[in-house]
Amino acid sequence: MKRACATAGASQGQWKTLIFIGLELVFLTALVAHDPIHHLEKTAADFAQQVTLDWKVHDVGKIRQVVTNTGGINAATGTYDRLFDYHGLINCEYPVNSNEEHIFEAGIRIGAVVQKDTLVSITNWNNAHLNYEFYPGAAPDDTIWVARKGDTLDIPYWPGYVGVSDQDFICKYSDHHITNITLHTPLYVDVIQTSYAWSSFPFDNVIVYNYYIIPTRYNLEHTYVTYMLQGRIGDLMAGLEATDIDDKGIYIPEHRMLVISDEPGGADGTAVSPIAAKIYPPESLAGSLVWTVQNYLHHHETPMQDIASYLEQMTSGVIMKDQDTGGQSIFSLSFGPMNLAVGDTVHFVVVQILGEGMDEIMRTAERSNILIEKDFRLPTAPPKPALKTESKSHEVILNWRPEEGETNPEDYTDPNRGDNIEYPFEGYRVYKSTGSITGPWTLLAEFDLPGNDLGFDTGLEYEYTDVGLLDNLEYYYSATAYCQPDFVLDFPSLESSINANAMRLVPGPQPPETVGKVAVVPNPYRGGVDYNAFNPKWEKNPPGRSWMEQDRRIQFINLPANCEIRIYTLAGDLIKVLRHNDPNLGYEDWNLTSTPGQAISSGIYLYVVNDTRTDEVQVGKFVVIK
């Protein structure tokens, strides 16, 4: 194999932008001391070993995917929950805001013969000794680095890294930073991992993982690599036990692709999307590799001891049959052998695919070949328009006319197109949502260049007014730019991200000069009404959890800019004080809980609104019926 450095195959320029987010230095052994799941021998060396744990979420496209810098793609349960503190966050959600989960855990295993000893290092949970084996280093820059396309980062182990996708994550982890893990002998390998996400079709439903494996101490003989995927597909709100008991896995050999899908029905419902992982092995070795596919009905069945994992899971060359019935679904896909000398770099790619059914999964699997063929240098969407907004009573006004100093989507160029069109911009689209700032979205208007027979030929416009809106309720808007199709590459028209340009707007009148017309809505408030089902929603719960008592809502309207609202029982007991200070909004929400956080009961309540500027007072009452 060709010798290479850790940045082999990279064509990166000079450094331009330095981004690193959420640096947190964590003493792993301090955590272990309070966590019996970790079985590390606690010596003085433990407290000298530090790791910089970090996690990020890919969220620019149609997938919300957690990525960590330990190499594991794991659900926020058990040890991972405590290590990374992302409890309650859906690990792999598609579509966004659906609560539909797809992965319980995934990651790579590396096995090799080192001086006649067979060793395996894994990124996912090892049931044999209840631990993880890959960790980042101790330096602050061992966090996850974040880049957008064209950004240049000053990464110590990848000088001059240039962003590839709309959202790149870059991290490095090794199996030798924590060296006294029970039953684990390190291979002494470093892994550099990059993951890419795109905001627009046709690759907004994929996450691409690049793995660069580098031996640092020993030559590795007969090296094999495994990608493991355990599904957990279904509505996560139904609970863990419901989402992983009716999954089914298959292997598609012509794509080197594992696919796990949800059986229809059941407590977790019927999922929109399967989860697929397509492997692109090292190109120079593709014709000489042995492939092994294994599936397991429970994670306790997966081989954990080094020799068993190496012989049974990695090297056997057996292609197991697909699952016949639904249950837990755990698949592994392995390839090898490879002989790696110290300093060599072996690079392979995993494309994670989601979509609306198997037809879309297969179309995306075919289309993903262009990612590899063009080394991820794809045509891109225009930049997002510079959206400006204005809210009035019952209407909002959107304007995206580019001003001096702002990025103009009409001027963008794209050297990765095949048709050599100098300025491929085509038009603008305007969207609206009454659900959330991440949609679902409704197309309100489209304006495109006239006279080129590539759309409606409406001509360009730069302003849109949406009328007939309800005052004091949230609406969400976005404006995007899109380009012409690339007929040479057979590449579709691309559009800037809707979510990336989304804005929350609340139509309504300006605050009155003083009190006098303050009112409460709804009045009476009826506990049996599903206000969450209104459109726009009157009561909303955050994504990822169901409605709770603290999501109740009444609204005091026609408030002056600065005032204090005091709420009493009929007996005169003060239960809540609200302070309003907003020169633009004339309302204030209350979730029907007292100062200590207790939900109020049915009854008649009094309110006193004091204009703190004029000291004028208005008194009123409202009714709560639960």
- Please determine, for residue 6, whether its predicted confidence score (pLDDT) is greater than 50: no
pLDDT score at 245: 78
Q: Is residue 19 part of a domain?
A: no
Amino acid at 63: I
CATH (domain of 295): 2.70.98.10
Domain of residue 540 covers 519-625
Tens digits of per-residue pLDDT, 63-120? Answer: 999 999 999 887 766 555 567 767 667 889 999 888 899 999 999 999 999 998 999 9
Do 235 and 298 fall into the same domain? yes
Do 485 and 614 fall into the same domain? no
Q: How open is the CA angle 114-120-123, to the nearest 5 degrees?
A: 140
pLDDT score at 28: 33
How far apart CA 28 and CA 50 sit, in angstroms, is 6
Domain boundary among 479, 505, 531: 505
Domain boundary among 505, 527, 562: 505
Domain boundary among 450, 475, 505: 505
- Please determine, for residue 400, whether its predicted confidence score (pLDDT) is greater than 90: yes
Compute, in degrees rounded to 10, the torsion defined by CA atoms 298, 301, 302, 308.
Answer: -170
For 558-567, what is the mean pLDDT? Answer: 97
Do 223 and 81 fall into the same domain? yes
Domains held by the chain: number: 3
pLDDT score at 242: 61
Least confident of 19-23, 405-409, 484-488, 577-581: 19-23
- Return mean pLDDT, the chain: 87
Do 531 and 461 fall into the same domain? no
pLDDT score at 240: 60
Q: SS3 for 28? A: helix
Tens digits of per-residue pLDDT, 178-204? Answer: 877 877 899 999 999 999 999 888 899
Chain centroid to CA 498:
15
Do 399 and 466 fall into the same domain? yes
Q: Is residue 56 part of a domain?
A: yes
| Banded pLDDT at 548 (limits 50, 70, 90) | confident
CATH (domain of 467): 2.60.40.10
pLDDT score at 327: 84
What percentage of residues in the chain have a pLDDT greater than 70?
A: 88
- Which residues neighbour 582 within 8 Å (Cβ) at sequence distance 6 or greater? 511, 561
Q: What is the DSSP letter of 143?
A: S
Q: Which residue has the higher pLDDT, 244 or 8?
A: 244
Q: Is residue 7 part of a domain?
A: no
Q: pTM for the whole thing? A: 0.70
